[in-house]
Chain A
Amino acid sequence: MHPTVLVIFGATGDLAHRKLLPAIYNLAHEGQLPERFEIVGVGRRDQESEHFREMVSSTVQRFSRRPPDADVLDGLLAGVHYVPGAFDEPQVYAGLVRALAEADERAGVPLDRVFYLSTAPEFFPLIAAMLGESGLQRASDAEVRIVIEKPFGYDLQSARTLNAQLLEVFDERQIYRIDHYLGKETVQNLIALRFANALFEPVWNRNYIDQVQITVAEDIGIGGRASYYERSGALRDLVQNHMLQLLALLAMEPPTAFDADRLRDEKLKVLEAIVPARPEEVPSMAVRAQYAPGVVGGISVPGYREEEGVAPYSRTPTYAALRLHVSNWRWAGVPFYLRTGKRLSRKLTEIAVILKQIPHVALQSSGSVGIQANQIVLTVQPDEGVSVSLGAKIPGTRMRIRPVNMEFRYGTAFLSESPEAYERLILDAMRGDATLFTRNDEIEALWGIVDPILGAWDADRSSTVPQYDAGSAGPPEADSLLEDGRVWRRL
């Protein structure tokens, strides 16, 4: 890996504190950083590099997944610098030019530059443009890359605009749009499960699969993120990016090689095969809701509209459920059910592939739950693993069948500890491997799916937004999406 300087815009923000800086420390601890590596933090807080180093030190000690080694941390801090100022101030970029030149001078080689935009999204085009005006989008004898955090756009039009603004300054190959879900082990394991095993691929189609359910349930509320969440809502926050990425990985054709463009080409084909809903179709394929007051974990919690910073008549959905169809040869007729919500009964992220019932039941006997459709369930959190449900004979003199689970858990099957998603993704960005990042055409395809739903919900001012009790499994209205006797998996 080429010597690199990582420039973090928004270096004093929450994401940098909780995720990025601890991830970088862990890469240093493992000896995985490039041999020459420096960090330049950029933030509005007026402080010297020394104060920033103290902040980095305390944040690593607090949030690192392992206790920091004092010598490694000191070594990392020695390469940490800070440029203060607002992102629209030209002197910030002049300071950055100086800081990067000094880093090159210290290293004795031109360092690759990775600009990590850990800021509010409204700053993305501004920072990109200012980097361009300062000539920082290119470097002689070194690569320059820019990493963009979500949300990438507010809707299809704004995503297109943002893509165009970035592409005015950077080439597509320089742009790394991060979706941290793709850095999670289980998500990558979905690719391994499908394409490293002969067992699953033969049944991975409409002939054997009845339905797919993708669930991202959270038991927490919006916390202190009201201003973000009021503008975002469940569909933008989780469905447009993470959940549709999971769907694409689950449904894509086998790529010819595991490289950035081949993988992303296959995902794009899936996304383009999801026909966007017409406005009149939205009520029958999408459900939104808000959490009402309730009890979570034995504690009474307020409803969404009572949360601090939320408008009392807010229509922002904290729950969204969709029924989508991938219109291609492999998946025609198989419904993909997606649901996500806050303040649900438990925290759970899973992908459940539910197979069709067997065509003829010869074994069923009274006194048991009988034969149920096989399910292949990939759990992303809280536990990372895969389970396959099978029908098995209950010990005894009769042929009674009940489902049992064959489980694989990362914690029991591997000796290694999974790295944090950000460790993998930061390393990939420094290595120039964009496989787990989202391409511009993918982003627009993702927005193309959710945009009509957002449009229909925004246009509908007459109906009330359904409510669900905090701590419940979600609104009963979501059941209306399921057809032919299907039910949501229990949370």
Chain B
Amino acid sequence: MTEEVWGARSTTPDAIEAALRDMLRSRHAADEALVPARVLNLVVIVDRDWKGEIANRLEGAGRYHASRTVLCAVQDGRVTLDAVASVGDEERAPGTPRVMHESVVIDVGAQHLPGLRTIVDPILVDELPTVVWSPHGHDEAVEALLEVMDVVMVDSDDIDDPALAFERAQRLARDAYVVDLAWLRTTPWRERLAASFDLPARRAELPRIARLEVRHRSRSAASALLLVGWLASRLGWTSCSLGHAGGGLAGTLSRPGCCEPGSGAPEPGEVLVALRPHDQDAPGLAGVTVCGEGGAALSLQRGRGGLEACEVSADGAERVWRILGASRGEGGILGEGIRQALLRDQTYEPALDSARALCTA
């Protein structure tokens, strides 16, 4: 990657924008094959001490990087703005069309956050959707950017209490489209469960699911709850709050046409749900087991090169195989989050509402 860099202390948004415009113009004049990417703006608000770590995560997002990234590094006590702006492009043969990406890092003070819109807005590319990501909290900054943001990226797994995380996501969803990285960690599991039950032989089992177990990294309970919420919203299960059990969460949900959930062994019309923490390094889910009333079960477990599938039929016969698919890793999840900002997933909000209901005591 080739890069041109500009920097200034005690600067202004107008000066930053002018520097970006000059760099884009001069690079295009030097090589007409260089054109600016024009897909979306990404505004990231981070603690200044951790801006390097976040920059590395953004680097790891691969080709799914924003056209213009504005990273606001928050430092207590700072009263002026220092900024570094850069324009980089892919290293390819001269003359072949190449895309330029712009990046701005602005050191801001905590006192700037209520008025952050006035700093960021002049630097955004007009007419492009703007995504805001604030991985270290700073809700005040997110609130300040509501007017300019189209999409807000959150990670419900980052907040210790999933109920608070879901409440925050619901609140933000009133003003912007929410992309939840915790939800995206469940994508391969949702796709595979949906595909598995699309088969005629298994489709009939969908309304008769009696037990669901979701295994997850201990700090990824939100992902697990969103998966349960998704199934509940798609299958019409009535959510109830889950209680603490065996180090995780458990409870009984009602299937359509059934009365209030009871307790003990599953009755027809009830689904026993259990969320179990699992020891693994990767954030997200570790496995899912779905059991039908007749005793048949399908289990998916994270494995190398895909998901290890195990199907036990009602007569106890067991089949094991692997469903292929490469892990995207956390960099891939972030990249997918940026990509999803241009799409609209209609299934998230119903799943979020159901997951929120599972948390209500």
Contact = CB atoms under 8 A, between A and B. Distances in A.
A416 B199 CA distance: 29
Interface string B171-207: 0000000000000000010011001101101000000
Nearest to B90: A411
A72 interface: yes
B97 A28 contact: no
Chain B interface, >50% SS class: mixed
B39 A35 contact: no
B305 interface: yes
Contacts of B36: 412
Contact of A413 (B39, B324, B326): B39
Interface stretch (B137-145, B246-254, B315-323): B315-323
A484 interface: no
B306 interface: yes
A415 B322 contact: no
B61 to A, nearest CB: 10
B322 A75 contact: yes
B35 interface: yes
B304 A71 contact: yes
Given A37-B324, A72-B305, A31 B201 contact: no
A110 B39 CA distance: 45
B325 A31 contact: yes
Given A1-B198, A71-B306, A415-B39, A31 B323 contact: yes
Contacts of B199: 2-3, 109
Interface in A194-238: none
Interface in B31-88: 35-39, 63-65
B311 interface: yes
A35 B64 contact: no
A76 B323 CA distance: 9
A415 B201 contact: no
The 10 closest A-B pairs by CB, nearest first: A71-B305, A31-B325, A71-B304, A28-B324, A69-B326, A72-B305, A75-B305, A415-B64, A75-B324, A29-B326
A76 B305 CA distance: 9
Given A69-B305, A417-B63, A34 B195 contact: yes
A1 B323 CA distance: 13
A412 B325 contact: no
Nearest to A408: B38
B125 interface: no
A488 to B, nearest CB: 24
A435 to B, nearest CB: 20
Nearest to B191: A31
Interface string A370-399: 000000000000010000000000000000
A409 interface: yes
21 contacts: A1-B195, A3-B199, A29-B324, A29-B325, A30-B325, A31-B191, A35-B309, A35-B323, A71-B306, A72-B305, A72-B306, A72-B324, A72-B325, A106-B321, A108-B311, A409-B97, A412-B38, A412-B99, A413-B39, A415-B39, A417-B63
B339 interface: yes
A74 B323 CA distance: 12
B149 interface: no
Contact of A415 (B63, B311, B324, B326): B63
Contacts of B339: 415-416
Nearest to A34: B195
Contacts of A413: 38-39
Contact of B195 (A35, A74, A78, A383): A35
For B63, B195, B339, the residue with the greatest tally of chain A CB atoms inside 10 Å of its CB is B195
B296 to A, nearest CB: 12
B342 interface: yes
A346 to B, nearest CB: 12
Contacts of B322: 75, 78
B306 A31 contact: yes
B338 interface: yes
A25 B299 CA distance: 24
Interface in A404-431: 409, 411-417
A33 interface: yes
Contacts of A402: none
Contact of B35 (A74, A412, A416): A412
A109 B39 CA distance: 44
Nearest to B202: A109
A160 interface: no
A36 interface: yes
A42 B310 CA distance: 30
Contacts of B304: 71
A72 B323 CA distance: 9
Contacts of A70: 305
For B191, B319, B325, the residue with the greatest tally of chain A CB atoms inside 10 Å of its CB is B325
Given A1-B195, A69-B305, A69-B326, 15 more contacts: A1-B198, A30-B325, A33-B324, A35-B196, A35-B309, A37-B324, A107-B321, A409-B35, A412-B35, A412-B38, A412-B97, A412-B99, A414-B39, A415-B63, A415-B338
A31 B319 CA distance: 20
B342 A415 contact: yes
A413 B196 CA distance: 34
Contact of A75 (B192, B198, B306, B311): B306
Contacts of B63: 415, 417
B198 A31 contact: no
A44 to B, nearest CB: 29
Contacts of B196: 35
Nearest to A417: B63
Nearest to B201: A109
A407 to B, nearest CB: 8
For A29, A33, A35, A417, the residue with the greatest tally of chain B CB atoms inside 10 Å of its CB is A35
Contacts of A3: 199
Contacts of B64: 415-416
Nearest to B340: A415
Contacts of A36: 321
A101 B330 CA distance: 40
A36 B65 CA distance: 34
Contact of B188 (A31, A33, A415): A31
Nearest to B326: A69
Contacts of B65: 415
Nearest to A383: B97
Nearest to B98: A411
Contact of B192 (A35, A37, A416): A35
A35 to B, nearest CB: 5
For B38, B201, B319, B322, the residue with the greatest tally of chain A CB atoms inside 10 Å of its CB is B322
For A28, A74, A75, A109, the residue with the greatest tally of chain B CB atoms inside 10 Å of its CB is A75
A30 B192 CA distance: 12
B125 to A, nearest CB: 13
Contacts of A30: 325-326
Nearest to B341: A415
B284 to A, nearest CB: 15
B97 A411 contact: yes
A35 B188 CA distance: 12
A284 B338 CA distance: 55
